[in-house]
């Protein structure tokens, strides 16, 4: 079997990683993969080579290692589909998993340019470490109008509940998130974020900025989120329309919740 893999291109450990990736695709979430010594014997290679291949797949988020137990097929990444406005909790539960969080900070915050709130608005900051089945996968840093927080009874004790969901709390208080604007970028994780998410030194994260609004355009929250890129995927359905001479028919639907113009998805540069 090792000879067959050597017919492929690239370093041997990457060839083994490719073969493992194919095997993992046929297994279910949580399935245990053979031990490194067993793989080394099966494929006639050194244990060091197998260990590098397994480490490659762990870095990609395809497998998880448990001390003393071995390596297992990781859960599929959280999938986001544009057009469906779900909270983190709703998206995780829709995928059949359990969402919880740890409250990292709750208190007053200063207004900053780029927020959907008028300058000088008193704000409340809500920072949470988001977990899926007990595993840290994201950081959410939300800013909410202090007046709104008072009116709906949002307090530190309320937000500290492990099952707290901001969108659900809004709905329980008679508020409905009607729509949102959202921007995603990929970037290197900040040192503090790497520690909270248990990431390596060169880890890449998906940074998401979302501003949510009520039907009348009132801003409900502004969140800066950081996701472990190995556990987050984003899907979009794209349609191309014929271009008629003299007209521009290739514009996306525009959103005007915050009074600004948003021409839909586009590739960088990302500024601000």
pLDDT at position 173 over 80: yes
Where are the CATH 1.10.10.10 domain residues in the chain? 2-73
Q: Per-residue pLDDT tens for 148-172?
A: 999 999 999 999 998 899 999 999 9
- Most confident range, picked from 69-73, 214-218, 259-263: 214-218
Where are the CATH 3.40.1410.10 domain residues in the chain? 78-234
Q: How far apart are the C-alpha atoms of 262 and 157, rounded to whole Å?
A: 37
pLDDT more than 90, % of the chain: 33
Q: How far apart are the C-alpha atoms of 172 and 163, rounded to whole Å?
A: 14
Binned at pLDDT 50, 70 and 90, residue 3 comes out as very low
In order, the DSSP letters of 86-132 are --HHHHHHHTT--EEEEEEEEEEE---TTSSSPTT--EEEEEEEEEE
Give the pLDDT score at 116. Answer: 94
Options 2.40.280.10, 3.40.50.11740, 1.10.10.10, 1.10.3720.10; CATH of 2-73: 1.10.10.10
Inter-CA distances, 171 with 12, 51, 181, 269, Å: 54, 49, 19, 36
- CATH class, domain 78-234, is alpha beta
Q: Per-residue pLDDT tens for 11-37?
A: 888 888 888 888 877 777 778 888 888
The region of weakest confidence among 203-212, 217-226, 259-268 is 259-268
* SS3 call for 182: strand
Q: How far apart are the C-alpha atoms of 63 and 53, rounded to whole Å?
A: 11
Q: Per-residue pLDDT tens for 42-87?
A: 888 888 888 888 888 887 677 877 777 788 887 665 554 444 467 7
Give the pLDDT score at 88. Answer: 83
Binned at pLDDT 50, 70 and 90, residue 220 comes out as very high
């Amino acid at each position: 079997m090792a000879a067959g893999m050597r017919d492929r291109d690239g370093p041997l450990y990457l060839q083994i990683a490719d073969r493992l990736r194919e095997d993992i695709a046929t297994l279910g979430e949580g399935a245990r993969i053979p031990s490194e010594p067993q793989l080394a014997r099966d494929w006639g290679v050194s244990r060091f080579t197998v260990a590098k291949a397994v480490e490659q797949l762990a870095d990609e988020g395809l497998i998880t290692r448990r001390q003393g137990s071995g390596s297992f097929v990781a859960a599929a990444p959280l999938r986001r589909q544009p057009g469906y406005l779900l909270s983190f909790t709703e998206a995780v539960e829709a995928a059949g998993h359990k969402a919880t969080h740890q409250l990292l900070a709750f208190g007053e915050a200063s207004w900053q340019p780029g927020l959907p709130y008028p300058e000088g608005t008193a704000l409340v900051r809500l920072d949470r470490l988001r977990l899926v089945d007990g595993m840290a996968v994201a950081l959410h840093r939300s800013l909410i109008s202090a007046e709104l927080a008072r009116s709906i009874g949002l307090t530190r004790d309320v937000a500290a509940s492990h099952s707290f969901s901001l969108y659900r709390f809004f709905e329980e208080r008679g508020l409905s998130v009607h729509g949102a604007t959202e921007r995603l970028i990929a970037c290197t994780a900040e040192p503090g974020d790497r520690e909270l998410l248990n990431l390596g030194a060169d880890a890449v994260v998906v940074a998401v900025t979302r501003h949510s609004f009520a039907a009348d355009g009132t801003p409900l929250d502004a969140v800066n989120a950081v996701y472990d890129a190995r556990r987050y995927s984003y899907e979009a359905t794209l349609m191309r329309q014929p271009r008629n001479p003299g007209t521009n028919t290739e514009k996306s639907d525009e959103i005007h919740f915050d009074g600004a113009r948003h021409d839909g998805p586009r590739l960088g540069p990302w500024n601000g």
